[in-house]
Amino acid sequence: MTSPIVRFAPSPTGRIHIGNARTALLNYLFARKGNGQFILRYDDTDLERSTRAFADGIAEDLTWLGVHPDLTIRQSERVSLYDEAAERLRGMGRLYPCYETEDELDRRRKRQAARNLPPVYDRAALKMTPEERERFEAEGRKPHWRFLLDHRSVAWHDLVRGPAHVDCASLSDPVLIRADGSYLYTLPSVVDDIATGVTHIIRGEDHVTNTGVQIQLFEVLAGRVPIFGHHNLLTTASGEGLSKRLGHFSLGSLRETGLEPMAAASLAVLVGSSEAIRPIATLEELGSLIQLDRLSRAPAKFDDHELEGLNARLLHGMDYGVAAPRLTAMGIAGGEAFWLAVRGNISRFDAVGQWWNIVNGPMEPVVEDGAFLEAALGALPEEPWSGETWAEWTGSVKATTGRKGKDLFMPLRLALTGLEHGPELKALLPLIGRARATERLKAR
């Protein structure tokens, strides 16, 4: 197979959510696996709703996920290509002007509904006489333009769904150009896919009907059709479709909560599969787990709790080599021993800061039983300390005080860390060291 060229084509009318991330990642990982190219294309022909700020935000979100486009293009800068394609379609008799107003179309649809007919555009504009057209123009009406569909079934082999088809005989001829001359999504998308040599179009299954129409456009404009794959969509835990407008699971908000991008990425891609609970450290590994033809066909529920759990597991197993630069950036000098001691007790990376303060101080010891702590201080071994020191020390404190279990351990934990719960003291004690431990046991 030649190298694939794929694209992710958000309209920058809001920030992207986890469902969009699913589309972006399925494309990106597909391209990486096949040594291909990933294009980021902003579908910003809707000039009123698209903004540069949203586009920049989307780029930031993708960078956070680890998705790096090989090429970025903006449809707003490519209108002349769409004009050329529209002209070609007119020349072929496949793009025709229509003068109906929204109201007129609406009335027509109601009449169809009353007669139990589907609300399909009746192609009345094709029967318009030159005089009628002149009259509309004289009234100042501007035409919108529809693509004349071939009334036949369009079939393709879908990368996800297998054999698929759309019956174009039951569709309205789609409007490609609005009365104000601006383009709807359908044509520019095909024109750009052709111009950029896109080989595979992987997108949500909400686009299946568009695919029927767009395959006809590919056929007439390029004589060849890319391969399509339509993945299932994500919903909220209660089954609602994700909405950019409502800000469901926006990547920006997930990032702000300090979530690991790999937790978001792997759940976005693997949600609904048995692999979804497994922490995955790199996009490369994630890519190796994806098989488009094995994606579930049903909508998949994206659940906060699952994401939280996955994030924690990812941190609990994170190698020191991965954590080290981030620890350094936070000014944490505890090295591998510190990371291994605390990683199992955090559900956000930043929480290591709290444990670093506890190890390194200053911190507030909780001293509840002065006499006992004094005895414990007396038994504190000399340094050097190791992973055995805690057992040695508590063994001799037990022997001198007669305490055991929680009565023995809890006052020591409270004095040394100020908290009832935390990493194993066996690992923390050598990090705290004798000087700080002494100070804390004496703090009365």
Binding site for ligand GLU (CB under 6 A): 9-11, 43, 185, 189, 203, 207
CB of 233 to ligand GLU, least distance (A): 11
Which lies closer to ligand GLU via its Cβ, residue 232 or residue 311? 232
Which lies closer to ligand GLU via its Cβ, residue 31 or residue 412? 31
CB of 14 to ligand GLU, least distance (A): 10
Which lies closer to ligand GLU via its Cβ, residue 211 or residue 266? 211
CB of 95 to ligand GLU, least distance (A): 20
Instruction: Give the residue nearest to ligand GLU (CB).
Output: 43
| 130/147 Cα distance (integer angstroms) | 20
Beta strands 153-158 and 162-167 are antiparallel
Return the closest-CA partner of residue 301 out of 276, 280, 279. Answer: 276
Which lies closer to ligand GLU via its Cβ, residue 217 or residue 310? 217
Three-class SS string for 286-309?
HHHHCCHHHCCCCCEECCHHHHHH
The tokens for 193 are 């896919």
CB of 8 to ligand GLU, least distance (A): 7
CB of 80 to ligand GLU, least distance (A): 20
Which lies closer to ligand GLU via its Cβ, residue 184 or residue 367? 184
CB of 94 to ligand GLU, least distance (A): 20
Return the closest-CA partner of residue 33 out of 204, 275, 200, 270. Answer: 200
Which lies closer to ligand GLU via its Cβ, residue 196 or residue 345? 196
Maximum Cα–Cα distance across the chain: 110
